[in-house]
Every structure is written in C-alpha cells, then in structure tokens.
Amino acid sequence: MDLDTLLLEAEPDVLDEAYAALHRSHVTHYELAGETFTRQALTDLFRLVVSAIHTRDLASISEYATGIAEERYNDGYDISEVQMAFNALEESMWRHVVSAHPDDLAEAIGLLSTVLGYGKDALARKYLSLACQRHIPSLDLSALFAGATS
C-alpha cells in the first residue's frame, strides 16, 4: 500500500490524535480559536502533507507554511505554538505509519519527515523574517552571543 493511501485511510484517527495532543498542551491561541478552527488547521496541513507525498512536490507545503507563518504571526501566535501544531500532527502520522508496517518503513518515514521538516523550515524562516522587522523579546538572541569573540 502506498504511503499516501495508508495515511488517507487513517485520516480520522490521525487528526483526532493530533487534536487531542495539541489540546492537552494548552496552546493558548489554538484554545482561544476553538476546536473547529484547530481541527480545520490540522486537516488542511494533513491533506497538504499527503498531497506532497503523493506528488513528490514540496511547493504546496512551502507555500502553505509561509502563508500560515504570516497569518499566525499577525494574529499574535508565538512560533512555538504553530510548531506544536505541526509536531502534534507529525507524531500522530508517524505512529500510524509505523503501526501499519509498510513494506519500506524507512522510505515512508523519510518521505513523511522530509515533507513536514520542509514545511516547518519554511514556517520558521518566514516567521523569523517577520519578527526581525520588529523587536520581539522572545527572539532576542543578543544575550546568547554576548560573550562571543570574533
């Protein structure tokens, strides 16, 4: 069975688990946005990940992650909140893939990790580029490098 087919068959369970994990983490902005919003965000990301795996094309996940970074940044989300949503979905997807024992587990995990990793990277790059345009105390790294010499 193809990885994308396996994931589509597990979609309801994957999304329920991802939502439950995110809900247990008490992520402020997602709690305020509500269950319907949060479930839809997870569904959108899930379907883009499955599509990217099927097409072997990362353009849509990059575009989505960049757009989400801008939306969430403008709505006051901390980058860690958005990363937690990605991570909750990723962990649930991994569990279902591993438990299904696909013929080539290494390839399946590689594909899944590549797509989600690329999405998280695009998200972080865009979020940080927006944050660099104004001072955000949580992103002030100057103290970390205060003792560094050139």
> Domain residues of the chain, as ranges?
3-133
d(CA 32, CA 79): 16
Secondary structure of the chain: what % helix, strand, coil (to 5)? 80, 0, 20
pLDDT at 132: 86
pTM listed for this prediction? 0.85
pLDDT at 137: 54
116 Cβ contact list (under 8 Å, min separation 6): 49, 86, 89, 90, 93
Task: Return the CATH number of 3-133, one of 1.20.810.10, 1.10.132.20, 1.10.490.10, 6.10.140.120.
Answer: 1.10.490.10
Q: Is the pLDDT of residue 33 over 70?
A: yes
pLDDT at 122: 96
Average pLDDT over residues 99-124: 92
Q: Is the pLDDT of residue 42 over 70?
A: yes
Chain-centroid distance of CA 32 in Å reads 19
Average pLDDT over residues 52-66: 96
Q: What is the DSSP string of 92-125?
A: HHHHHHHHH--TTHHHHHHHHHHHHHHHHHHHHH
pLDDT at 101: 79
